[in-house]
Structure 1
Amino acid sequence: MNRLSPKKLLLSKWTAVKPIAKQKHFLVSKVIEPELPNEKLDLIEIEAVYSKKVMQIHWRDLSDSSLWIQGWK
């Protein structure tokens, strides 16, 4: 997998390897900026395509191929 950049994640598409609440396809809907400018970016919001349910995850979790596949499969 290519290296992920948190600045380029917005609107990227992801497939959960194991469905989360019967949802499999997700879109990064928001990159959550840290409160202090010297802190590193950590959280993003992903939105289920079908149900529009939103949840926050650590953006580095998307690098784990046992949890996420880039694109919609």
Structure 2
Amino acid sequence: MSEKNTFNKKKLLLSKWTAVEPQGKEKHFMISELLEDEKGEICACILEAVLTTQEYQIDPQELEDVSRWHMGWK
């Protein structure tokens, strides 16, 4: 079984993440907003780059990929 990041989607807000392969100077991110569907399920999250404050919308399942993301700031 492959390794993956495990987390509680309800506790994602304001959590910190590190990109394995930074693009430009964007390496450290914080989840600034959670987007929910009509059923109240989290369907997307807004990642904010700490250094540039640029925002990106991603599917929370992408954060499970350890080849792309580390939990916390490293």
Give the 5 Å matches for 1:1-73: 3-34=6-37, 36-37=38-39, 40-73=41-74
**Identity between Structure 1 and Structure 2 (%):** 44
TM norm structure 1: 0.87
SS in 2 for 1:60: helix
> TM-score under structure 2 normalisation?
0.86
CA RMSD of aligned residues (A): 1.6
Question: When the two structures are aligned, how many residues end up with a matched partner?
Answer: 71
1:28–1:70 CA distance, 2 compared to 1 (3 A): same
Q: Which runs of 5+ in 1 are unaligned?
A: none
The aligned amino acid for 2:72 is: G
Query: Where does structure 2 lack aligned partners over 5 or more consecutive residues?
Result: none
Structure 1 letter corresponding to 2:70: I
